[in-house]
Amino acid sequence: MPLYELTTHELHEKLKAREITAVELTQAMYDRIGAVEGQIKGYLTLTEDIALEGAAAADTGFQRGDEMPPLAGIPIAIKDVICTKGVLTTCGSEILGNFVSPYDATVMAKLHQQGTVMLGKTNMDEFAMGSSTENSAYQTTRNPWNLETIPGGSSGGSAAVVAAGEAICSLGSDTGGSIRQPAALCGVVGMKPTYGRISRFGLVAFASSLDQIGPFSKDVTDCALLLNAICGHDPMDSTSADLPVPDFTRSLINDLKGVKVGIPKEYFTAGIDPDVEESVRSAIEVLQESRAIIEEVSLPHTDYAMATYYIIAPAEASSNLARYDGIRYGFRAKDADELSDMYKKTRSQGFGEEVKRRIMLGTYALSSGYYDAYYLKAQKVRTLIKSDFDKAFETVDVVVTPTSPTAAFKIGERTADPLQMYLSDVLTTPASLAGLPGISIPCGLTQADLPIGLQILAAPFEEEKILQVAYTFEQNTDHHRKRPNLSPI
């Protein structure tokens, strides 16, 4: 099996046994990128020189026989919303087209400590606003399973490069589903940990009460290893949780005896594709065969989550994106004659259509006379959505649902109608509003051979329960071993 097909934990064994070197592995990854990236278009920036330097440093450690961390020498891709010192961080936007961060995000510092090798920065919907990666100012990433379809979004590049073997694992960010939905659509594992579990320092802000960084990988073991590396309190992020971080690999237990799995009836409604529903129903049977106790639960305010999300996220975004003023960094429009004109021209030329739409929506929702009707109302409904989950988690350990109502859709299919695009996230936004951890793992293919994702949610800081359920499912099925049939050009 070619190296790019392997997982982090498999490669770690090979590196440790010195069957391969990190430099060979890195070169193999760039060979693979050379062969398929023309079709996938998942990367915005490749950092080969830095990667080979990092790989050589990891090799020195392995050759010396040092105790090397699990991610040492492992090639990873990073969503272009995470600040990387000395390397472009564009957020998929023209307005940050030339932006080079003077510092590393905390997650990057943590990955560097492990000796992880960054291959490059991945494509995304501009400022993480979108569900298909079609809102990137630069390129449209293709789903490796079918090049006519979207990879999901907003972390579409990070999901696609892992699915295509162009990275062993990657990092993305999830505000309303931007890790879980593309993971489902690309047939990989993607996890959004609890809000506050991972530092947001150096994550370019979209909606600060929702944004969370998380990993993409080929299996649940890799997911646990990545979480071990990047979770933890950070004094640089005042919203990061000052709680001990468990060793997540201890949750990789292939048994669900006594584990209560809740199935919310509101997640199996009219809009679900029959293939998706069937796969998820059979996944639930697999959990039951592994001794889980299956119970129906009710999350009665599910249907209000999208409306709530599309007030809160744009409101926070309109405030966060006020910083792009053409003064301190990024793009500045050239033809302005005075300051306020410069602001307007810079922002109008620098932001794409969807970003402007959300700034407008958010500014409207926060503007005088509308605040109570929209923003305050949405915050109150957010409380109701959160209490639904609180109640459910009094009786069950995890909640299991489809990640996305449908598999990957065609490029261009939903771009004309923003509301239809927004509804792609209908099953992921409720957990985001409640700050819950959630994973998407592969659970089957549609008749058209497109991946289907199983979403597993738990109460805040109960990632371990999610990992146990996900791991058990994976050990008793082979969906995670399926790979897209990509031919190099």
By annotation, the residues acting in catalysis are 79, 154, 178
Joined together, the tokens standing for residue 398 give 């995890």
Q: Which residues ranging from 294 to 313 are in contact with other proteins (CB under 8 A)?
A: 301, 303-304, 306-308, 310-311
Q: Rounded to an integer, what distance in angstroms lies between the CA atom of residue 42 and that of residue 324?
A: 26
What is the DSSP annotation of 41-78?
--EEEE-HHHHHHHHHHHHHHHHHT----TTTT-EEEE
Is the peptide bond prior to 154 cis by the omega test (within 30 degrees of 0)? yes
Total residues binding other proteins (CB under 8 A) = 73
Torsion sign, CA atoms 205, 209, 211, 213: positive
Q: Give the HSE-up count for residue 459: Cα atoms under 13 Å, Cβ half-sphere.
A: 12
3-class DSSP state of 454: strand
3-class DSSP state of 166: coil
In one-letter notation, the amino acid at residue 170 is: S
Percent of the chain that is helix, strand, coil (3-state, to 5): 45, 15, 40
Single residue of 172, 190, 460, 484 touching other proteins by CB under 8 A: 460
Q: Rounded to an integer, what distance in angstroms lies between the CA atom of residue 122 and that of residue 141?
A: 10
Taking the complex as a whole, the smallest distance from the CB of residue 371 to other proteins amounts, in Å, to 11
**177 lines the binding site for other proteins (CB under 8 A):** no
Q: For residues 14 and 20, is the Cβ–Cβ distance under 8 A?
A: yes
- Measured from the CB atom, is 104 or 474 closer to other proteins? 104
Q: Which residues ranging from 70 to 99 are in contact with other proteins (CB under 8 A)?
A: 98-99
Q: Rounded to an integer, what distance in angstroms lies between the CA atom of residue 179 and that of residue 196?
A: 16
Q: Which residues ranging from 179 to 208 are in contact with other proteins (CB under 8 A)?
A: 194-196
Burial environment of residue 204 by CB neighbours within 10 A (0 to 12, 13 to 18, 19 or more): buried
How many C-beta neighbours within 10 Å does residue 3 have? 20
**127 lines the binding site for other proteins (CB under 8 A):** no
Taking the complex as a whole, the smallest distance from the CB of residue 389 to other proteins amounts, in Å, to 10
Taking the complex as a whole, the smallest distance from the CB of residue 107 to other proteins amounts, in Å, to 19
Single residue of 139, 140, 379, 415 touching other proteins by CB under 8 A: 379
Single residue of 265, 291, 380, 481 touching other proteins by CB under 8 A: 380
Cβ neighbors of 89 (< 8 A, separation 6 or more) are 80, 81, 82, 83, 96, 99, 100, 101, 121, 204
Stretch 405-444: interaction string toward other proteins, x if CB under 8 A: -------------xx--x----------xxxx--------
- Measured from the CB atom, is 221 or 302 closer to other proteins? 302
**328 lines the binding site for other proteins (CB under 8 A):** yes
**327 lines the binding site for other proteins (CB under 8 A):** yes
**317 lines the binding site for other proteins (CB under 8 A):** no
**384 lines the binding site for other proteins (CB under 8 A):** yes
Residue 172: beta bridge partners?
214
Q: Which residues ranging from 147 to 176 are in contact with other proteins (CB under 8 A)?
A: none
Q: Which residues ranging from 216 to 275 are in contact with other proteins (CB under 8 A)?
A: 235, 238-239, 241
- Measured from the CB atom, is 139 or 349 closer to other proteins? 349
Hunting for tokens 């744009």 — which residue is that? 314
Taking the complex as a whole, the smallest distance from the CB of residue 340 to other proteins amounts, in Å, to 7
- Measured from the CB atom, is 187 or 196 closer to other proteins? 196
Among 16-24, 122-130, 183-191, 326-334, the segment contacting other proteins (CB under 8 A): 326-334
Taking the complex as a whole, the smallest distance from the CB of residue 237 to other proteins amounts, in Å, to 9
Single residue of 386, 465, 479, 480 touching other proteins by CB under 8 A: 386
Give me the helices (H) in 66-151, please: 106-114
- Measured from the CB atom, is 130 or 326 closer to other proteins? 326
Joined together, the tokens standing for residue 413 give 């299919």
Taking the complex as a whole, the smallest distance from the CB of residue 380 to other proteins amounts, in Å, to 4
